[in-house]
Amino acid sequence: MVPAKKQKERAPMPMSGAGLMRFFEDETHGIKIRPHYVVLGSVILMSTVILAHVLFG
């Protein structure tokens, strides 16, 4: 016989969406920017900060 504590640990988790949660079902409103532009913008910003430290620091 299995103790009550062990039986609770073995209880299955409730199923939602076949065990997978879906976060991106709803379309969000707002500005949509491609990931390429975000990476490019961050590289340009980092380069600008480094260049400013070298020239003006």
- Of 36, 17, 15, the C-alpha closest to 25 is 17
Q: Which helix (H) or strand (E) holds 51?
A: helix 35-56
For residue range 1-57, list pLDDT tens digits in order: 556 555 555 655 555 555 566 555 567 788 889 999 999 999 999 999 999 999 998
CA 48 vs CA 34, 35, 43, 52, 56: distances in Å: 21, 20, 9, 6, 12
For residue range 32-42, list pLDDT tens digits in order: 899 999 999 99
- Predicted TM-score (pTM) of the model is 0.50
Which pLDDT does position 45 carry in this prediction? 98
